[in-house]
A and B are shown apart, each in its own frame.
Chain A
Amino acid sequence: MSAILAVPILQVRGLRVEFAHPLGAVHAVDDVSFTLEANERLGLAGESGSGKSTMALAILRMIKPPGRIVGGRVTLDGVELSALDHEGMRRLRLAGIAMVPQGSMNSLNPVMRIKAQLADAFRDHGVQLSSADLDARIAELLSTVGLRAEVANLYPHELSGGMKQRACIAIAICLRPKVIIADEPTSALDVVVQRQVMETLARVQRALGCAIILVGHDMGLMAQFVDRLGVMYAGRLVEVAPIGEIITRPRHPYTQALISSLPSLEARGTMQGIPGLAPLLRDLPPGCAFHPRCARAEARCRAEKPAVRDLGPGQQAACHFA
């Protein structure tokens, strides 16, 4: 599917995000490193509160107070993002890295026609187009995401959920970004529309030759879409591996638990949860943050925080037993 050219388009090194709290800072993203290659589809999975959406926002330098980025480097195609000034970063968003947000229904402006929202994106990034050229570009963008040209003149409430999400994809790709971050782009859609939207995203990726980071918690969707998967737990990336490895041989017990928590269509009454609750970030257990919920936990896990170790090509895990 994707060309395995080891050219990192995006590099994240030691990224840390803290949220100020009266009882001490909370580490929402704790020393996360990964690379994204050109044309690659990388998934980021984890429960809510695991830090996956915060990390997506941190890459775009969109963390709002009381949160702040306290460490790490993000490099896009050789450009270090932390070195950019405010205006430079603003220009890079959408043009260099675009985001398809969660819940398209809430991210489109309800009182603007789709056409005007696309035109806004061009204008805001200094793309000067004549009215006829603009209409042509918009029609082309809409057709790329599987929407009819008439959709340009409609308001968001006139579109179905899947059409709105495709309109969001059209906005995301209008400046031909190198990376698209899609944050649970289909969580509000049913499976039929989900498949259509993901197919649209796959087509768009091929047309643009960009890389995709897909944030979500549906392991089925990850298995079918991404090339490599990162699993986050309590702000840390606890496992990264090619998707085939993750499915056949997950190295971290939490990854295993995430896979088994998916309800099956084979046998009724077999659905299992992950025991216990995700820990509070401001009150993490000592040692491995997953140990209170882990069936394999031993004394060492309660005392010593496992480091992220290389296990093979493109494969890492933070577990003493991996």
Chain B
Amino acid sequence: MTGPLLEARHVTKRYGAMTALSDLSMTIDAERPAITAVVGESGSGKTTLARIILGLTPPSAGTVFYRGQDMARLSGTQKRAFRRDVQAVFQDPYEVYNPFYRVDHVLTTPVKKFGLASSRAEARTMIEGALRAVGLRPEEILGRFPHQLSGGQRQRIMVARAVLMKPKLIVADEPVSMVDASLRATILGSLRKLTDEMGISIIYITHDLATAYQVSDNILVMYRACIAEAGEVERVVKHPQHPYTQLLISSIPKVSIARDWLDDEGEQKLAAIPSPDGCRFLERCPVAMARCAASLPPLYRTEAHRAAACYQYADSPELPAGTLNEVLVTGQEHVGA
């Protein structure tokens, strides 16, 4: 098998009349490990993207390739390899556990299923190593039942389970939205270590732009099934180009004495109904032009490490489908930047 780890080509997902993901192309290259955050509101298509990458949902149109092979046509051996290479960490650190089993169960099962260890002692060493890699002390974790551990500990066990498989890619869908703010830093910190020290790529799906900024190298901002803006995190957050990204960043409430966040004076705006054609952000956009209503703007490559889907940047070259990867940076490039 050749080619990049994963490639999505013109992937669209529809549920009935609703389009959850619209013509998305992207590549994940295992040789260029990085954390890429996918940020968007609920319904923007970010979880659909995660499920398609994980092979849990087939696309309605377009193809996902795993090492050059159509995901829909993988052989048994290739499927097993895929199930090792690509791991998932989900939102809810409660639902994934069977309350009747000790937490060891979620760690020993993959070791057995994939024959990762040749003896019990080796399995134990591997599991302890994976727990330490995510900042947990094995003696405080093993032998416990899920209810005896905190949400943060449980979520880190799920990351440890992913690490056990020595994956190339972890897709983490809102891994910290259900844990306390005080614990988020630790969990995200352990994800960062996996990329920096073990070369694992991470797709971090979140609605929280601030944690995405803290931990990621790249950001994809999604709005109503499309990518609005993509690029190196520092550029996107400090100098957002797409009006939606600008709105997102200005909407984050800040801990400051200045109370400029609420605008509860004047006329109340009614919730707008989206237009079927044209830019998805049209009815909320302060700089909308006539052409925005006519057709959906493509991604324009506005800078080396940035692309924005907005006609304001129509002077920049269009980003050819499937080359989104060129815009993104790797974790190592980022350290140097």
User: Which A residues lie at the B interface, using CB under 8 A?
Assistant: 1, 47-48, 146-148, 160-163, 166, 188-196, 198-200, 202-203, 206, 217-221, 223-225, 244, 247-248, 257-259, 261-265, 268-274, 277-278
Known A-B contacts: A203-B268, A273-B183. Give 13 more (CB < 8 A).
Answer: A47-B181, A161-B42, A192-B41, A196-B271, A206-B264, A218-B181, A219-B181, A223-B259, A258-B181, A258-B182, A263-B184, A263-B211, A268-B213
Is the CB–CB distance between B271 and A147 below 8 Å? Answer: yes
Q: State the 9 A-B residue pairs at the shortest beta-carbon distance, nearest first.
A: A190-B41, A274-B182, A273-B185, A220-B253, A224-B261, A202-B264, A263-B210, A191-B251, A224-B253
Q: A190-B207, A277-B152 are in contact. Are A223 and B262 (CB under 8 A)?
A: no
Listed by A's residue number, 26 A-B pairs whose Cβ atoms lie within 8 Å are: A1-B259, A48-B151, A160-B42, A161-B42, A191-B209, A191-B252, A192-B41, A192-B248, A193-B41, A203-B264, A220-B253, A223-B253, A223-B259, A224-B253, A224-B261, A259-B255, A261-B184, A262-B181, A263-B184, A264-B214, A265-B209, A265-B210, A271-B184, A271-B214, A273-B185, A278-B180
Q: A219-B255, A258-B181 are in contact. Are A273 and B186 (CB under 8 A)?
A: yes
Given the complex of chains A and B, what is the CA–CA distance between A194 and B248 in angstroms? 11
Partner of B259, one of A166, A195, A224, A273: A224
Closest to A269 in B: B214
User: How many interface residues does B have (CB within 8 Å)?
Assistant: 48
Q: A47-B182, A261-B182 are in contact. Are A192 and B270 (CB under 8 A)?
A: no
Is the CB–CB distance between B182 and A257 below 8 Å? Answer: yes
Given the complex of chains A and B, what is the CA–CA distance between A160 and B264 in angstroms? 21
Which residues on A sit within 8 Å (CB–CB) of B214?
A: 263-264, 268-271
Which residues on B sit within 8 Å (CB–CB) of A225?
A: 253, 261-262
Which residues on A sit within 8 Å (CB–CB) of B249?
A: 265
Given the complex of chains A and B, what is the CA–CA distance between A271 and B209 in angstroms? 13
Is the CB–CB distance between B255 and A195 below 8 Å? Answer: no
Q: Give per-residue flags for B152-166: 1 if the beta carbon is below 8 A from chain A beta carbons, else 0.
A: 110000000000000
Q: A191-B209, A258-B181, A262-B181 are in contact. Are A146 and B261 (CB under 8 A)?
A: no
